[in-house]
Structure 1
Amino acid sequence: MVDQSIVVEVVYAAVDDQALISLQVPIGTTVAQAIEMSGIAERFPDVDFSQCPVGIFAKLVDSPAEYVLEAGDRIELYRPLLADPKEVRRLRAAKAAQARKTR
């Protein structure tokens, strides 16, 4: 008999806690369904996972409700950035330039 399910992982890293949940889901399960099935919302009740960016192995998924999973996929739930990395680099470069001027 052919196995009608696949194994996937759901991962999330909060500031002080990380979760890696491996689960078996039926073939044809979407990203959104797997997130719901994982129970991760109960572990992190302060996070609205419906609003989090989602990726599969660091590649963003535009429509989690439509993206059908494949065996071995790792669903990554991303936290919002606290600061824009480009802005941080720009500020650091400006600070370094100012420090060189004052020498």
Structure 2
Amino acid sequence: MIRKAFKLKVNPGQFEEYKKRHDNVFPELVAVLKEAGANNYSIFLDQETGCLFGYVELESLEKWNCVSKTEACQEWWRYMEDIMETNPDSSPKSTELTEMFYLA
């Protein structure tokens, strides 16, 4: 199992909308994530900074990297770009975090 952590940023004043949209994630995207072997996927918000912390457990980085190429993922990015910091291709600006400690 591979553990992956990353941070993103939601725009000020959009915390409730971000939560609302994630409470209703597109079923097609959920299916793509599960097919890619993603498990225990969580996103946490630091309300003071608007920073989001994401954590996901993966079977394979190769499968995970294919998720971004799916229509379901790209449609989700377009849906979310008005409330998040994004790149020109609508993908969220994301910083991968380095694991520093793990207690099994």
Regarding TM over 0.5, the answer is no
TM-score with structure 1 length normalisation?
Answer: 0.27
> Using CA pairs below 8 Å that are at least 6 residues apart, which structure has the higher relative contact order?
2
Higher helix share: 2
